[in-house]
């Protein structure tokens, strides 16, 4: 009997060690295509001091960040519904729901609505900031990889709709599922690790007839491409961007018949790579078709029309 129990114990230990060290454990926990339906905004912070360092030795993180933030295009996408998926087979061990899910600023409300799943090897995955009443599993449920468990929201400590995905090991220490040159562990835990995307992408852009607050753009208030000289006092161009870097030069050139009316230039001083930018001019006096050329570091990214009546 002693030999049998010892043999079983060794088998269990071997099984757990293999599972914890193996590659290819997790699926990406969001439905859709990376770079189109969602974007990785912040990685795990590997710097233990006051500075920041992501897994690729870059700055796409913030101090003390213990997970990975998958952002979606905004509140319109959240309202339509973006599914959160179980990253691997497991059992639901904790759920919080019912919290306000339209937060637009960093706050002290922590995880917000979330789901926690315990996996066979003792790891736990956490899915944070979920949409209220979207959770479609219960504590004690067994779930399989890629099963829908909720939808992306903006509850808790959240400035925009996103999923904070976090992995904890058997000792409940947070670990980074990515591998990279600045990782503490050379192995990764993805079946197919999402690639680092350094391309600058315009997620959305447009015009509004006012100097906006962030909330106005997030909610899409009064987006238009047509302005009236009698009623509107200014034209504002805005863009929702992913892939910005500190000290990028953002430039908006306002043009009529290919003649430059004025140029606005701004040096990006925000550490976030995923953010809104806007620029405006007082209403010109000439009716007709106008163009805005938007560039970053002198590379033209977009040409957009608006109309003055």
Q: Are the CB atoms for 101 and 132 separated by under 8 Å?
A: yes
Of 272, 257, 264, the C-alpha closest to 294 is: 264
Q: Are the CB atoms for 84 and 148 separated by under 8 Å?
A: yes
Q: What is the pLDDT of residues 34-60, one digit of tens each?
A: 888 899 989 999 998 888 999 999 888
**Superfamily name and number for 201-308:** Immunoglobulins (2.60.40.10)
pTM of the model: 0.85
Domain ranges of the chain: 24-175, 201-308
Q: What is the mean pLDDT of residues 5-25?
A: 42
Question: What is the CATH code of the structural domain delimited by 24-175?
Answer: 2.70.70.10
**Residue 186's pLDDT band (boundaries 50, 70, 90)?**
low
Sign of CA dihedral 77, 81, 82, 84: positive
Chain CA centroid to CA 287, Å: 40
State the CB neighbour count (10 A cutoff) for residue 169.
13
Same fold, 24-175 and 201-308: no
Which residue reads 């992306």 in tokens?
152
Q: What is the pLDDT of residues 240-289, one digit of tens each?
A: 998 888 899 999 999 998 899 999 999 998 777 888 999 999 999 999 99
**Residue 15's pLDDT band (boundaries 50, 70, 90)?**
very low
Q: What is the pLDDT of residues 232-241, one digit of tens each?
A: 999 999 999 9
């Amino acid at each position: 009997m002693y030999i049998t129990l010892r043999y079983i114990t060794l088998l269990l230990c071997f099984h757990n060690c293999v599972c914890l060290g193996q590659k290819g454990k997790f699926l990406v926990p969001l439905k859709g295509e990376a770079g189109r339906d969602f974007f990785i905004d912040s990685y795990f912070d590997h710097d233990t001091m006051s500075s920041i360092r992501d897994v690729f030795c870059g700055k796409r993180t913030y101090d003390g960040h213990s997970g990975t933030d998958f952002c979606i295009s905004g509140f319109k996408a959240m309202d339509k519904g973006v599914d959160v998926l179980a990253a691997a087979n497991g059992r639901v061990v904790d759920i919080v729901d019912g919290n306000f899910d339209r937060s637009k600023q960093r706050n002290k409300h922590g995880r917000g609505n979330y789901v926690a799943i315990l996996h066979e090897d003792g790891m736990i995955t956490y899915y944070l900031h979920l949409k209220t009443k979207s959770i479609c599993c219960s504590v004690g449920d067994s779930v399989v990889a890629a099963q829908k468990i909720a939808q992306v929201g903006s509850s808790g400590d959240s400035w925009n709709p996103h999923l904070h995905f976090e992995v904890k090991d058997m000792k409940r220490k947070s670990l980074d599922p990515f591998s990279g040159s600045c990782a503490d562990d050379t192995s990764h835990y993805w079946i197919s690790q999402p690639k680092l995307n350094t391309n600058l992408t315009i997620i959305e852009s447009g015009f509004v007839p006012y100097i906006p607050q962030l909330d106005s753009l997030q909610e899409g208030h009064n987006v238009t491409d047509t302005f009236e000289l009698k009623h509107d006092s200014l034209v504002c161009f805005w863009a929702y961007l992913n892939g910005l870097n500190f000290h990028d030069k953002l430039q908006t050139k306002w043009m009529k018949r290919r003649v430059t009316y004025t140029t606005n230039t701004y040096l990006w001083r925000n550490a976030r790579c995923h953010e809104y930018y806007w620029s405006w001019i007082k209403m010109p006096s000439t009716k007709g078709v106008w163009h805005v050329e938007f560039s970053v570091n002198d590379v033209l990214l977009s040409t957009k029309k608006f109309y003055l009546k």
